[in-house]
Amino acid sequence: RLRALNRLQVIFQHLKMSKQTDSAAEVLLEKKGGAGVITLNRPKALNALNLPMIQKIYPQIKTWEQDPGTFLIIIKGAGGKAFCAGGDIRALTEAGKVGDKLIQDFFIGEYRLNNAVGTCKKPYVALIDGITMGGGVGVSVHGHFRVATEKTVFAMPETAIGLFPDVGGGYFLPRLSGKIGYYLALTGCRLKGRDVLKAGIATHFVESEKLPALEKDLIALKSPSKEKIADLLNSYHMKCTIDQEKEFSLDEHMEKINRYSPANSMEEIVKKLKQDGSPFAMKQLETINKMSPTSLKLTLRQLREGASMSLQEVLRMEYRLSQACMKGHDFYEGVRAVLIDKDQSPKWKPAALEEVSDEFVDSCFKSLGNDELKL
């Protein structure tokens, strides 16, 4: 038996080592000219962020911030399909089921990283080519510049898996024009290509195939100021004619979105949609009915409160919500239905909006005392 145990230990050791070398390659951190370049390098997992990646990126951003020879930071995704499709949800699910502290560590690490991006003293350029969702939004949207392409697909689909649009979603979503942020947060609606720019999520739009040239030009800039970087991005942006004539896909619905989204409660939003009865309203109703009722209520309040908070206050609030979700039922059920069994029919508890009490929602926003997020 002892021999078998020893053999197991050797295997574990080996696995641990191979895991370390793998994780070293999951994110590439390189200094090129005056630029610090972060490449999210898990193309098979659509560059989803895991804790080891977060723990490498955060101190590197802080180091580059202090380095007089680094003038800007660029972040991009490898593989051509995704910038970053979110956080490593599966790992969180497994950890949550056994009470592993990854459910604290992951969110603490991720939100600190979001804050580092939001407070970065060096110009920060995110090349959001391909799928950009959840955690990928958190490492891009708070930075100075976000360059979308015709391949960009943006979404915050968390209400479908029993979560809420975190990573500072409570800060940037209510600040988008009109009530579009509320709409994106509650329905998980996907925006593609130029729509990402028109919604105010991206600052520039450049052809996907021009990104390597753009990156080269950014790296070649001599001691660039934010203005010089903006000028360079603008010049690429102006030359890009893809979908230039296309109208914003939500334009025709904006009047309804602005009218219904700011309602005082989810129940009121549902009531207004039912009264409206138009094909658009019915489609939104159908979408909302699939989402976790608990998530919808948390999200509506998160955005309403976040609208007047600083990014740091929002991240602290979202950390409280993350821990409430980790203790609840819907997150695990949502991940099962959408990502694991893929039957797309989650059994939410409670199953109806009316059953999610105000007292319960209040409890999710309460201070965690000594366990509050420290930024």
More confident residue, 331 or 263: 331
Question: What is the reported pLDDT for 131?
Answer: 98
Average pLDDT in the 291-301 region?
A: 98
Across the chain, what does the average pLDDT equal? 94
Average pLDDT in the 228-248 region?
A: 96
7 is a domain residue: no
Question: What is the reported pLDDT for 279?
Answer: 96
Domain CATH code at residue 116: 3.90.226.10
Question: What is the reported pLDDT for 20?
Answer: 45
For 157-166, how does the pLDDT look when each residue is reduced to its tens digit (9 = 90+)? 999 999 999 9
140 is a domain residue: yes
| Annotated catalytic residue 306 | no
Question: What is the reported pLDDT for 264?
Answer: 87
| Cβ contact 63:100 at 8 Å | no
Token reading at 302: 């998160």
For 349-374, how does the pLDDT look when each residue is reduced to its tens digit (9 = 90+)? 999 999 999 999 999 999 999 999 99
Query: Which residues 6+ apart lie within 8 Å of 329 measured at CB?
Result: 162, 348, 349
13 is a domain residue: no
Question: What is the reported pLDDT for 3?
Answer: 63
CA 29 to chain CA centroid, Å, is 21
Q: What percent of the chain has pLDDT over 70?
A: 94
Question: What is the reported pLDDT for 6?
Answer: 62
| Annotated catalytic residue 369 | no
Number of domains present in the structure of the chain: 1
DSSP 280-300: HHHHHHHHHHHS-HHHHHHHH
- Domain ranges, residue 154: 27-371
195 is a domain residue: yes
| Annotated catalytic residue 166 | yes
1 is a domain residue: no
Is residue 136 pLDDT above 70, yes or no?
yes
Q: What is the pTM of this model?
A: 0.92
Catalytic residue among 134, 135, 138, 143: 135
Catalytic residue among 77, 86, 87, 143: 87
Question: What is the reported pLDDT for 266?
Answer: 97
Is residue 21 pLDDT above 50, yes or no?
no
Closest C-alpha to 47, from 165, 131, 149: 131
Is residue 2 pLDDT above 90, yes or no?
no
366 is a domain residue: yes
Catalytic residue among 88, 158, 195, 330: 158
Average pLDDT in the 19-28 region?
A: 67
Please, what is the angle between helix 279-290 and helix 266-276, to 10°?
150
| Cβ contact 263:189 at 8 Å | no
Residue 233 CA: distances (Å) to CA of 30, 52, 236, 264, 316? 21, 31, 5, 40, 33
Catalytic residue among 26, 88, 166, 330: 166
Question: What is the reported pLDDT for 102?
Answer: 95
CA 22 to chain CA centroid, Å, is 24
4 is a domain residue: no
| Annotated catalytic residue 87 | yes
253 is a domain residue: yes
For 61-118, how does the pLDDT look when each residue is reduced to its tens digit (9 = 90+)? 999 999 999 999 999 999 999 999 999 999 999 999 999 999 999 999 999 999 999 9
Question: What is the reported pLDDT for 40?
Answer: 98
DSSP 18-33: HHHHHHHHHEEEEEET
Average pLDDT in the 203-212 region?
A: 98
Question: What is the reported pLDDT for 262?
Answer: 72
* Radius of gyration over every alpha carbon of the chain, rounded to an integer in angstroms: 21
For 263-287, how does the pLDDT look when each residue is reduced to its tens digit (9 = 90+)? 789 999 999 999 999 999 999 999 9
* Euclidean distance between CA atoms 294 and 135, whole angstroms: 21
